[in-house]
Every structure is written in C-alpha cells, then in structure tokens.
C-alpha cells in the first residue's frame, strides 16, 4: 500500500460541486479582486474566530509582515518568539528590521510561558506566539505577561484554525491574529492566501491600507503600502471550506485518536494535549530517536512522512548574522532531530490509518 503524506485532491472531491460552483460563479461575475466574495469571507472568518475585524491578504507571511508594520515594530525593537517555529514566523518581523529573541518550547512544542519573562528587556515590544501543529499555547499566562509588561501580543495561527485555549479560539487572544490559508492548512485555499484578525479598529484600517498600496481610495496613497490582496476566487473557495469546518475538524480528530489509541511502540513518543487546550491536529507529530532510519523504514513500506522542522531558525543561514551556535537552544535542537509528522488528511481511509498503525507497531519486530 502507498500512503502519501497528504492527498489534497481528496479534500476537493469531498465538496467538489460546491467548490466548482463557487469558482464558476466568481469567474462569471467578472469581478476578481476586492469584491463581494472577499468581504463575505472576511466577515465569516472574523465571526469564526470571534474577532471584530478580518483583512484578507496574499499569504500568512504577508499577514505577519503587515501586522508588525501596522504596530510600527522595527529597527531597534525586540520580539520574543519560539525558537522551534517555522522560519516564516521570524521573517514576519525581521522583514521590518526587528530582532528575534528566541525562547525554548515546552513539552507541547509551543512557546514555554515560564521562560518568557527572563528574556524581556527595555527593547522588547512584542511577544509572537506560534500555535504549532494545531495546539494552542498557554495563552492565559502569556497574555497576563504581555499585559503586565505592556507588550503587544501577536498570534501566528497558521496551523491552528479553530484551536482553543479555555474556550477562546487562537487568534482572538492577542492584539492581532495572523493566519495562512495555504492549501495544506485546516482551513486551506487552492493557492496562497492569508488574513489577519483584530478587535482594534485602528489596526484594521491601517492593514486595509497597507495591503492596497497604502490607499483607501484609488490613487490617494496615504502611507507606504504593498500589494497583498486576497483574490475573489480564493475567498469564494475558502467560504466553502469554512462552512464545512466542524465536519473536517471531527474527521481529523478521529484520525488522530486512532493513532493515539492504536500506536504502541516503545520507540515512539506520541503527542500530548495541554490541559485546557483543544487540538485541531494540523499535524500529528511524534518523536523518535534514529529518525532517519525510522522514516526510511516507513517509506520502504509505502508510507510517506515529513520532518517539521529540521533546521531551527537560529541555525539557518538566513539568521547567521545573529551569532547563534549549535547548543544554544537544546530543547529546540532535540525536537529538530527527533520530530516526525505522520500522514493525516481529509479523506484518509480506515484501511490507510490501520496500515500506518500496524506498520509502526511492527517497527521493533521488523528490526530484529
């Protein structure tokens, strides 16, 4: 049996007629940028998160970049960020000239709230929380720290659409929530797209200008902006996907629970869920020593996996100028060497799930 790490066409086939109709109706409308479909999705996504405002953008990275730009965070400012995140999270503010202050993750792969305050300085302007793999960070404590130190709180919810901490959805805790709708996301489009959410009307209006060349009215450019607009076709398709969110969330949870209850191998450490958090299983990340051998074993059996993420930002060539070295963030570096993501996607069959579980459980036996 061959099992891909992801199979995006199955998600399309689930609601094919609705997706087709959404795309065709948008094409027939003759309006493809900044129209009714985009406004409709922005309203729907804001309501879904529980925020007052949403601005649709080109990508999740643009959401981060424009969020920090709207807050005037730049050169000379420091931003606290988890050291084990994908590099896009860090690029969001270094693109604006700010400096990353890395903090190690906790056992749930998220920013360790207990290690934040020791990194706060007079130059610290914000905390960027990344809800990695689909599970919320300890937002109650992190928000309390941010409020007490008068810091902006930005959430990177690229992997956590709908994930909750204490009944509040990720993205609604901070000053700004940033989201990606890359096709593999739980709320995924059919191309690049993203959004920010906020309760702050001033931030909302500023990001609306920033995404559209710095203008409210065509040719009247009030500030320096960019071109980062969610197009009408992607917005229409995202409205379809969002309308089926509960169904898709339940499906991912069932697959994850099958893995949690079925995988039984001493060489595999399964993910755990934080008290008070609701996991939406963007990724099912396990830990194992000799990861390369285990990954090759699964591939030989027809099961594709992915590593998230093999090179932490502090060890990337892009951030070599920061002067970090191997050993500076041992927890992060250990995760980079041991974490492996298993297949988990819409439309995955019971037969495929059983095969993954059985193959993993036979790993020690097959090694003998």
For 252-263, b where at least 16 C-beta lie within 10 A, e where not — what string?
A: beebbebbeeeb
User: Kindly report the CA angle at 273 between 262 and 147, in degrees rounded to 5?
Assistant: 165
pLDDT-derived band at 329, boundaries 50, 70, 90: very high
Q: For the chain, give every domain's residue range.
A: 8-243, 245-367
Give per-residue pLDDT as tens, 179-216: 999 999 999 999 999 999 999 999 999 999 999 999 99
Q: Cβ–Cβ contacts within 10 Å for residue 297, how many?
A: 17
Q: Cβ–Cβ contacts within 10 Å for residue 160, how many?
A: 32
- Render 20-45 in DSSP notation, one character per residue: HHHHHHHHHHT--BSSHHHHHHHHHH
Which fold does the domain 245-367 belong to in CATH?
A: 3.90.1150
Give per-residue pLDDT as tens, 30-83: 999 999 999 999 999 999 999 999 999 999 999 999 999 999 999 999 999 999
Burial grade of 38 (CB within 10 A; 0-12, 13-18, 19 or more): buried
Does pTM surpass 0.85? yes
pLDDT given at position 9 = 97
First to last CA, the chain: 22
pLDDT-derived band at 364, boundaries 50, 70, 90: confident
pLDDT-derived band at 142, boundaries 50, 70, 90: very high
pLDDT-derived band at 336, boundaries 50, 70, 90: very high
Contact 129, 106 (CB under 8 A): no
Give per-residue pLDDT as tens, 68-125: 999 999 999 999 999 999 999 999 999 999 999 999 999 999 999 999 999 999 999 9
User: Cα–Cα distances in Å, from 110 out to 44, 83, 103, 172, 321?
Assistant: 28, 9, 10, 17, 25
In this predicted structure, the answer to whether residue 365 has a pLDDT above a threshold of 60 is no
Give the CATH architecture of domain 8-243: 3-Layer(aba) Sandwich (3.40)
pLDDT-derived band at 366, boundaries 50, 70, 90: low
51: Cα separation from own chain's centroid: 18
Would you give the DSSP letter of residue 227?
B
């Amino acid at each position: 049996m061959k099992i891909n790490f992801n199979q995006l066409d199955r998600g399309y086939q689930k609601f094919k007629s609705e997706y087709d109709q959404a795309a065709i109706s948008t094409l027939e409308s003759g309006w493809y940028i900044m129209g009714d479909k985009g406004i409709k999705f922005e309203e729907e996504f804001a309501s879904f998160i529980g925020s007052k405002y949403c601005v649709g953008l080109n990508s999740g990275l643009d959401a981060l970049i424009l969020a920090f730009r709207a807050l005037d965070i730049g050169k000379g400012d420091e931003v606290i960020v988890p050291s084990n995140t994908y590099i896009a999270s860090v690029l969001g503010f270094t693109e604006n000239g700010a400096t990353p202050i890395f903090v190690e993750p906790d056992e749930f792969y998220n920013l360790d709230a207990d290690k934040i305050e020791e990194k706060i300085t007079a130059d610290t302007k914000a905390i960027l929380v990344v809800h990695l793999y689909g599970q919320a960070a300890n937002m109650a404590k992190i928000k309390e720290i941010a409020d007490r130190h008068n810091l902006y709180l930005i959430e990177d919810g690229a992997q956590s659409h709908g994930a909750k901490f204490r009944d509040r959805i990720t993205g609604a805790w901070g000053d700004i929530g940033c989201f990606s709708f890359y096709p593999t996301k739980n709320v995924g489009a059919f191309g690049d797209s993203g959004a920010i959410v906020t309760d702050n009307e001033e931030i909302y209006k500023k990001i609306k200008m920033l995404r559209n060349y710095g203008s409210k009215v065509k040719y009247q450019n009030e500030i320096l902006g960019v071109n980062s607009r969610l197009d009408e076709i992607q917005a229409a398709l995202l409205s379809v996907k969002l309308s089926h969110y509960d169904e898709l969330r339940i499906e991912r949870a069932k697959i994850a629970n099958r893995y949690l209850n079925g995988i039984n191998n001493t060489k595999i450490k399964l993910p755990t869920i934080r008290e008070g958090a609701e996991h939406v299983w963007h990724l099912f990340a396990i830990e194992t020593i000799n990861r390369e051998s285990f990954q090759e074993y699964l591939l030989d059996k027809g099961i594709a996996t992915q590593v998230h993420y093999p090179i932490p930002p502090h060890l990337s060539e892009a951030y070599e100028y920061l002067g970090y070295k191997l050993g500076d963030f041992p927890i992060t570096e250990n995760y980079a060497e041991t974490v492996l993501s298993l297949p988990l996607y819409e439309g995955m069959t019971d037969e495929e799930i059983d095969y993954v579980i059985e193959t993993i459980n036979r790993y020690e036996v097959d090694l003998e």
